[in-house]
Amino acid sequence: MQHLIDTLDLSDAQIAQLLDDARAFKQQHPSHLLRDKLLITLFFEASTRTRSSFEVAAKRLGAAVVHLDPSKSSTNKGESLEDTFANLCAMDPDGVIIRHSENEAPGLLADMQMTSVINAGAGNYAHPTQALLDLFTLMEHFDGEVRGKTLAIVGDIISSRVASSAIRLLTRMGMNVILVAPKPFMPQSDLPKYERLEDVLNKVDVIMSLRAQLERHASPIFDDYEEYAEHYCINAERLGSRDILILHPGPVMRNIDISDEILEDPRCKVLTQVRNGVYMRMAILKLLLLDS
């Protein structure tokens, strides 16, 4: 039984296989490889992209998917996470895809060894499937070689599981990762740190813009996000004609993270990331449910 809790769970060979399989799924009509499989999605936090992407990926491969909405489940009657999971596992799913506010939640369920557990985003530490789909998008754009490319992560890095997973995976793949944020959004890190976006624009190949995660701030960090946007919004004036790829995991705060104009610009790959997410998650389901 294999789990995906963090990209560190994957060998280099498995990452290469995921990229190959995602590319193949994108090029050819999906097969029904998982026709006899059943997956359960269990999202304790809101999601548009990740949940629907996993459900589309599973259905494209012929699997059945059941979603349990925790807000309408017996969690409301005090049932613990472990008991909820054990009861779902009593129905013999082939995997449970979980999103949770606690960093440790997916690993804790994986340790129960009842079914494959896939982390669909936990706390501020790991969102491995987002990192993998971002890697797939970067590989596609840079013709299969990201080594030596420089990526700036811009925004609320300290709160971001997307940033945390991207740093672990993309540095492992040989990318230079630099961090750009105002002091309250900057984590402790050995990576190069900058406060001004203007100081990095001439040295990056990719910008990964992040949303200010207001729901994770105990108290407001900025009174006015317009002022934040003045310094960090990726807009046409700031970007100019530079050949910089723009990524964002979504949801995008329009004209705060990225301007309306740049969201329409061919350099911006936000919807390509979403499209690629389905193919990468198909590859992940194949790896965990068939190949392991």
**What is the contact surface with ligand CP in residues (CB under 6 A)?**
47-50, 121, 130, 249-251
Measured between alpha carbons, how far is residue 192 from residues 149, 160, 187, 188, 240 in Å? 14, 17, 11, 11, 24
C-alpha 254 chain-centroid distance: 19
C-alpha 28 chain-centroid distance: 24
**Nearest CB to ligand CP, comparing residues 129 and 200:** 129
Tokens of 68: 């349990």
Q: How far is the CB of 83 from ligand CP (least distance, A)?
A: 25
For residue 51, the one-letter residue type is R
**Nearest CB to ligand CP, comparing residues 71 and 188:** 71
**Nearest CB to ligand CP, comparing residues 45 and 265:** 45
- 78's torsion region: left (phi>0), alpha (psi -120 to 50) or beta? left
Q: How far is the CB of 278 from ligand CP (least distance, A)?
A: 13
Return the axis-axis angle of helices 49-60 and 128-141, rounded to nearest 10°.
70
Question: How far is residue 44's CA from residue 84's CA, in Å, rounded to a whole number?
Answer: 12
**Nearest CB to ligand CP, comparing residues 70 and 249:** 249
Q: How far is the CB of 161 from ligand CP (least distance, A)?
A: 8
For residue 96, the one-letter residue type is V
Q: How far is the CB of 260 from ligand CP (least distance, A)?
A: 20
Residue carrying structure tokens 């002091």: 183
Instruction: Check if the beta carbon of residue 102 is closer than 8 Å to that of residue 82.
Output: no
Q: How far is the CB of 245 from ligand CP (least distance, A)?
A: 17
Tokens of 99: 């999103």
**Nearest CB to ligand CP, comparing residues 114 and 212:** 212
| Beta sheet of 150-154, edge-to-edge order | 193-194, 176-180, 150-154, 206-209, 245-247
**Nearest CB to ligand CP, comparing residues 93 and 121:** 121
Tokens of 193: 């740190």
**Nearest CB to ligand CP, comparing residues 95 and 250:** 250
Q: How far is the CB of 157 from ligand CP (least distance, A)?
A: 15
Instruction: Check if the beta carbon of residue 60 is closer than 8 Å to that of residue 32.
Output: no
Q: How far is the CB of 53 from ligand CP (least distance, A)?
A: 8
